[in-house]
Structure 1
Amino acid sequence: MALTVVPSFSVSGVWKRTQFPVSTESQKPRQKKEFPILEKQNWLIHLHYIRKDYEACKAVIKEQLQETQGLCEYAIYVQALIFRLEGNIQESLELFQTCAVLSPQSADNLKQVARSLFLLGKHKAAIEVYNEAAKLNQKDW
């Protein structure tokens, strides 16, 4: 154990030095634990998307999905939105379905699945999925 000298103020108004034992373990630099953060670039994906810079957005999404082995829900969700904007409705449907699998309690994902089904002309299937979404979050309707 090492000693640390700390100046302190006494009741009589005089400064004095006090020694406290300090563990040498606390003085060693600690290694940070590395935890995988699946959504660490969501802010950048969102920024490119709202600026309608879809090519840059798709590049960041591709990188994010490679890093997370395809488990970043937000990246998949935005990629599906971009596909839909580009007219690739079937691809967007498949990606929204992936989001629904990754987050089964999300009514928003189901609503996007239903919207894609509707755009594909599968109206009965869209209504069924909208009904499922309504059951998940009744306060949202």
Structure 2
Amino acid sequence: MPEDARYEALEHEDEILAACALRFHGYRYAEDTGFDMAAARDECERTNRYDHLSLPEQMAVLFFIQRTVRWVEQDAPLPRDGSLFRAYRELFLHVADQEVPAEYRIGRDDSDFSWGSRFEPMTAEHIALVRRIHESTRYSDDRRGTAHR
């Protein structure tokens, strides 16, 4: 993939990942269930395992990773080859085509990050884009990516 096309794909990927994550009300889920999103995020990032989590737990972790990326990137962008982005993409690939439980669904609207109105109609294409980026990325086991080595 030419470098400028890769940059555009990554820019579009940011919107796709965020919209998918923000369709689930992770804070409400954590409050209702006592689920520790931070501990689950750290475990998923460290082990690359998600199958022990229920679908709502996977969605909560995806939500919390999006919030983490947003908070951290206010200071400096996270490397796309770090362990957090690996978890972000893998969880997206697990849940993107799954229905959000009604009690935790964030309403559909026309905002830039509305999954339902902007992204859901092309879910298969968005999954393919993220999968292509994911499979072509050589990840580091460090959140700071390969540039940190």
TM-score, with structure 2 as normaliser: 0.31
- TM-score by length of structure 1 reads 0.33
Radius of gyration: which is bigger?
1
Determine which structure has the larger helix proportion and give its number: 2
